[in-house]
Amino acid sequence: MYAVVATGGKQYRVMPGEVVQIEKVAGSVGQKVELGDVLLVAPDEGELMVGRPLVEGARVVGQIIGERRGPKILVQKFKRRKRYRRRIGHRQDYRQVRIESIELPS
């Protein structure tokens, strides 16, 4: 069984027991979290459920197992002949989530 969920502006294909790295969500290590919008559910038996745009009643539950930060990304702005230069860095915060269950609509 697997599902496709949307969280943090991205879509992820998740399965129970899998560890996925998503953008920062509320909560700390050890807490349970319900992932965003469920777009698709593919059960082991039966028919594929595709949402329009979401699958009504479906839930994906996981547990936060760690926190990480992504690589540093440098952002530069430059305007020629104006002596304008800006350089800033950014590191995205991520949470590692272990998917515990995919709950089907009843």
pLDDT at residue 16 is higher than 80 = yes
Across residues 5-20, what is the average pLDDT? Answer: 95
Give the Cα separation of 97 and 106 in Å (integer).
25
**pLDDT value for 88:** 98
Q: What is the pLDDT of residues 46-92, one digit of tens each?
A: 899 999 999 999 999 999 999 999 999 999 999 999 999 999 999 99
Q: Is residue 74 part of a domain?
A: no
Quote the percentage of the chain above a pLDDT of 70: 100
Q: Is residue 81 part of a domain?
A: no
Q: What is the CA radius of gyration of the chain?
A: 18
pLDDT at residue 20 is higher than 80 = yes
Domain count for the chain: 1
Cα–Cα–Cα angle for 89, 6, 40, rounded to 5 degrees: 155
**pLDDT value for 25:** 87
Q: Is residue 88 part of a domain?
A: no
What is the span of the domain harbouring residue 11?
2-66+98-103
Q: Is residue 51 part of a domain?
A: yes
